[in-house]
Amino acid sequence: METERWVYCSHSGRNKEQEQEVIQWIEEVLGEKLPNQPYEDVLKDGVVLCNLINKIAPGSVKKIQTKGTNFQLMENVQRFQAAIKSYGVPQEEIFQTADLFERRNIPQVTLCIYALGRITQKHPEYTGPRLGPKMADENKREFTEAQLRAHEGELNLQMGYNKGASQSGQGGFGNTRHM
């Protein structure tokens, strides 16, 4: 029974702690409590997502449908996706509309929101709460030509130099040892 549960968890790929962190971050950014519903239901119609990007980068999404047909609500999700792409979230980290709307890949939705949280760190005008780890600052190093050449006289042990050691007498793989 234990393995069945493991297979299910690994297959679903969902991380409840990350989802909870995303919800808390959105609540902190928006300054309001979200409805106590399943994670994907809170985000599904795109209204919360559009409000989120508008709070981070005001005016990103001009029109938000608060009610309407599934098609109209899916447009919210698409507007959010376009807005975060222009904000700097890489295309490969942005989920497909069906990932959220049809619950095809909820972990991708979570990763996308984490990516948005990460990108806010590149925008000095954003001073709101953080999501995820702090991005590393670039640590550019300059080396002189002499520093770059300093190792050339040394023998690299990865290149096969073994100071006369050999494997003779070791026996091949699968051979029995003679005592």
Q: Which of 57, 138, 43 is nearest to 100 (CA)?
A: 43
Report yes or no on 172 lying in a domain.
Answer: no
Tell me, what CATH number does 76's domain have?
A: 1.10.418.10
Report yes or no on 175 lying in a domain.
Answer: no
Give 56's Cβ-side CA count (13 Å radius). 32
Predicted structure pTM score: 0.69
70-87 vs 47-56: helix axis angle to the nearest 10?
20
Element (H, E) at 86: helix 70-87
> What is d(CA 53, CA 26) in angstroms, rounded to the nearest whole number?
10
Report yes or no on 75 lying in a domain.
Answer: yes
Q: For the chain, how many structural domains are there in total?
A: 1
Place of tokens 């909820």: 106
Report yes or no on 70 lying in a domain.
Answer: yes
Report yes or no on 97 lying in a domain.
Answer: yes
Q: How would you write the pLDDT of the chain (179 residues) with one tens digit per residue?
A: 433 333 233 346 899 999 999 999 999 999 999 999 999 999 999 999 999 999 999 999 999 999 888 999 999 999 999 999 999 999 999 999 999 989 999 999 999 999 999 999 999 999 999 887 776 666 667 777 777 777 666 655 555 555 666 666 565 565 666 66
> What is d(CA 133, CA 56) in angstroms, rounded to the nearest whole number?
18
Going 27 to 30 to 35 to 38, the CA torsion angle's sign is negative
Report yes or no on 22 lying in a domain.
Answer: yes
Report yes or no on 147 lying in a domain.
Answer: no
Report yes or no on 153 lying in a domain.
Answer: no
**Domain containing residue 76:** 16-122
